[in-house]
Structure 1
């Protein structure tokens, strides 16, 4: 009887511990997952009768994926103009003077409906005392090329559902994966969108700064991002969920799949990245064993989320 009572008490302690963990998750969820769907001006610069406005969600540049909208206005008529060859180049300068960039769209696309130029930037680091970011833009109007630059601040991304990671693949190349959607998942099957990018090492010869060929990135084409979501907290046993779908590239250049979150809390998106030939670029399989009481194992390629 005494052994039976000890057993029952142990079960109750485990149940209370699990409940407390879940309650902590709920408290964190209520404050840690902001949603931004409105584009606002994040930076502005004037040059020779034109105003260039750079817009982002919430009017803020965040570490990770940022959709960029650029509007060019004639300051005399206050009308948006349709220029040509609009380019966008973000560059980070460190205290030692070295310069680097991040995945970005150099040639912006004009959107007639909104009268703006569309692109993206995946800022790999937030601004700090050791590094600062600057945007270099250019456009052509009446056969004249205009160039401007603007210092900006890149903020930490507080929404963990928009986290990113960078890594060296088994092919020796540098890759980046950035989560784009959903901003705030539901306990359901969620459409999961990510960008996958690759860095191209520059040639030995340097052009006139800022030379985009020295800061070259591209969208990865035709890969597959295998997905295995888990709850790695000890109380969750690293369990997974059914009906997930691997991410494949669609016409917008982004990778689309499905992640099924069966409850709120900490989740790890374990990945295996395969190239067009099915060769593993990075990632390892995660054991299917249920592991209550210990942190769950993760793939060598993963991104943590929380909702």
Structure 2
């Protein structure tokens, strides 16, 4: 009988804590999490008679995944330029001059219906006084090559549902996982979309004028599996999970799709185990399934924390 009473008291404490925490989370959502569906100009610059405009959601480059749309216009005629072979290379330079890139689509894809070039960049850090981001753009018009460099600003991603992580896999390769969707989850089964990228270690020394794209190359990994085990790790939530989640697998657009079932608002951890094409574990550990009220839940060595 005493054990039953103790269990009921513990359960009530957990439920009260959950209600309090849930209220706090909802207050934060009202001021932080915003859906961005409209593309706006994030940066524009000129070179040799042409204007280059790059659009992003909300007109802002954020740390994490950014879909981009690039347009080239003839300044004299104000008409779309007949450009081809448009390349896009983001590079960050730190205070001591070290230069690295981030996952990106190097040769942008032309979209004839809207007359723009599409791609993406997964910025791995925000701009600050010790680190700047530069874009190196090249294109061809009438067999003439054009090149231009432009400094941009990358903002902090305040929406934790779009967090990212980077790590070294068991194969000694450098990987990046970035959340793409949903921007604002619901208490329901949500389609979870992520990008998974690998840095291609250069096999030859740099050649030609800086930057040599072969030194800053990334690949969308193919046919991997991202096993998913979502948990609420807060002590008050007892490390509980939810039913009907689905692992993430790659679709035709290169991104990975799965299902995450959020049963309430609050702090969630997306615990992952990443498998390659042969089913070998490249990163991630199994999460204990015990219900542990009052004890913080153990996370996979590969995880992303979110909040909604």
Same-fold call, TM > 0.5? yes
Residue 15 of structure 1, CA deviation: 4.0
For 1:7 and 1:36, locate their aligned partners in 2 and report how far apart those are by CA, in whole Å: 44
Partner of 1:117: 117
Q: How does 1:86-165 map to 2 (within 5 A)?
A: 86-165=86-165
Residue 42 of structure 1, CA deviation: 0.7
Task: Give me the TM-score of the superposition, normalised by structure 2.
Answer: 0.95
The number of aligned residues is 307
CA contact (8 A) 2:46 2:52 kept: yes
CA offsets, 1:249-294, max 9 Å, x none?
1110110111111111111000000000000000001011001111
For 1:186 and 1:52, locate their aligned partners in 2 and report how far apart those are by CA, in whole Å: 38
CA contact (8 A) 1:26 1:264 kept: yes
Residue 16 of structure 1, CA deviation: 3.1
Change (3 A) 1:142 1:176: same
CA offsets, 1:150-204, max 9 Å, x none?
0011111000010000000001000000000110111111111100000011234
Partner of 2:184: 184
CA contact (8 A) 2:14 2:293 kept: no
Residue 31 of structure 1, CA deviation: 1.6
For 1:155 and 1:10, locate their aligned partners in 2 and report how far apart those are by CA, in whole Å: 42
Change (3 A) 1:80 1:286: same
Q: How does 1:64-103 map to 2 (within 5 A)?
A: 64-103=64-103
Gaps spanning 5+ residues in structure 1: where?
none
> Within the alignment, does 1:287 sit opposite 2:307 as a pair?
no
CA contact (8 A) 1:196 1:254 kept: yes
CA contact (8 A) 1:82 1:115 kept: no
Partner of 1:51: 51
For 1:8 and 1:255, locate their aligned partners in 2 and report how far apart those are by CA, in whole Å: 42
Residue 6 of structure 1, CA deviation: 9.1
Change (3 A) 1:5 1:268: closer
CA contact (8 A) 2:10 2:293 kept: no
> Within the alignment, does 1:215 sit opposite 2:207 as a pair?
no
Gaps spanning 5+ residues in structure 2: where?
none
**Aligned alpha-carbon RMSD (Å):** 1.9
Change (3 A) 1:112 1:230: same
For 2:226 and 2:260, locate their aligned partners in 1 and report how far apart those are by CA, in whole Å: 12
CA contact (8 A) 1:84 1:139 kept: yes
For 2:162 and 2:56, locate their aligned partners in 1 and report how far apart those are by CA, in whole Å: 15
Change (3 A) 1:142 1:3: closer
Task: Give me the TM-score of the superposition, normalised by structure 1.
Answer: 0.96
Partner of 2:226: 225
For 2:10 and 2:282, locate their aligned partners in 1 and report how far apart those are by CA, in whole Å: 45
CA contact (8 A) 2:67 2:119 kept: yes
CA contact (8 A) 2:162 2:180 kept: yes
For 1:93 and 1:211, locate their aligned partners in 2 and report how far apart those are by CA, in whole Å: 15
CA offsets, 1:33-55, max 9 Å, x none?
11111111111110111100011
For 1:270 and 1:220, locate their aligned partners in 2 and report how far apart those are by CA, in whole Å: 19
Aligned to 1:79, the other structure's residue is in SS state: coil
